[in-house]
Amino acid sequence: MTMTLCKKLLDLTKTILAAVKAGDYSSLGKLLEERKEIMERLKMATMPDLEMLRPIFQEIIALETECMESATQERQKIMTEIKKLQERKRASSGYTTQYLKYMDQTH
């Protein structure tokens, strides 16, 4: 049972990474909830020889690391876009303010 759960966790981690890389953040909540359920079941499971599980957990850790790196890069891209939008808003707001002042003076 433990081996099956570990393999499910590995497969799910691969799915999570694929979703992150595809920018499919809407499905992450459900996937992470599934992951949490598997982790809870693993906590209660009897652990066999841990050496047997080592390769699976090493792969899960590597995938998790890649997931975090991808999410961090995406977050940086989003923050850059937000800053650009804020700058545009400030410029537009400044232009509108100056235009309205000009219109008030000419009418």
Instruction: Per residue of the chain (107 residues), give pLDDT as tens.
Output: 788 999 999 999 999 999 998 988 899 999 999 999 999 998 888 777 778 888 999 999 999 999 999 989 988 999 999 999 999 888 888 778 887 777 888 76
Spell out the domain ranges in the chain. Answer: 2-106
Average pLDDT, the chain: 89
**Radius of gyration of the chain measured on its C-alpha atoms:** 24
Helices 28-44 & 2-22 angle (0-180, nearest 10): 160
**How many C-beta neighbours within 10 Å does residue 62 have?**
12
| DSSP character at residue 27 | G
* pLDDT tens, residue by residue, 36-64: 999 999 888 877 777 888 899 999 999 99
- Cα atoms found within 13 Å of the Cα of residue 14, Cβ hemisphere only: 10
Are 46 and 65 in contact by the 8 Å Cβ rule? The answer is: no
- Given the candidates 1.10.110, 2.60.40, 1.20.58, 1.20.120, the CATH classification of the domain at 2-106 is 1.20.58
Burial of 31 (0-12, 13-18, 19+ CB in 10 A): middle
Give residue 43's pLDDT.
86
For residue 4, what are its two tokens? 């099956």
